[in-house]
Structure 1
Amino acid sequence: MSRLNPQTAAKNTAAALLREAREAGWLRAKFEIRPDGSVSVDAGMSEPEGGDDFLSSDLRMGE
């Protein structure tokens, strides 16, 4: 069996983590694979706090 390059190994790892996250019911899961093969994971059971502070009433044009 040939040895996997780092990028392929990272891709396989991210795919497995994403599959497990879906099965566990996680609300969000984001994986970033870098060219050197490293992987960053941002996952959680709740939506991230924050976002924008705009209300739809603040977005009206012409007032």
Structure 2
Amino acid sequence: MRETRPYTAARQAVSALLREARDAGWVRAKFEIKPDGSVIVDAGMADPEAGDEFLSNDLRMGR
């Protein structure tokens, strides 16, 4: 039997995780697969809060 490459195994794992995240109702799921097969995951049940609380009328330049 052929040995699975690390990148291929990572792609299969990410595919399964995306499917489960959608079924669970996650708001966001971002996966980054590195060439060596390592995976970086950014996922959550809610959108990250924006740090800016500027209103458009607060952004005037001069008078």
TM above 0.5 = yes
Task: Bin the TM-score by the shorter chain.
Answer: 0.7 to 0.9
Give the alignment's TM-score, normalised by structure 1: 0.79
Identity %: 68
Number of residues of Structure 1 aligned to a counterpart in Structure 2: 61
Runs of 4+ in 1 over 3 A off after TM superposition: 51-59
Q: Which has the larger radius of gyration?
A: 2
Residues 25, 9 of structure 1: alpha-carbon distance in 2 compared, 3 angstrom cutoff: same
User: What is the Cα-based RMSD across aligned positions, in Å?
Assistant: 1.8
Segments of 5+ residues of structure 1 without an aligned counterpart are none
Segments of 5+ residues of structure 2 without an aligned counterpart are none
Structure 1 residue matching 2:12: 3-state secondary structure: helix
Give the alignment's TM-score, normalised by structure 2: 0.79
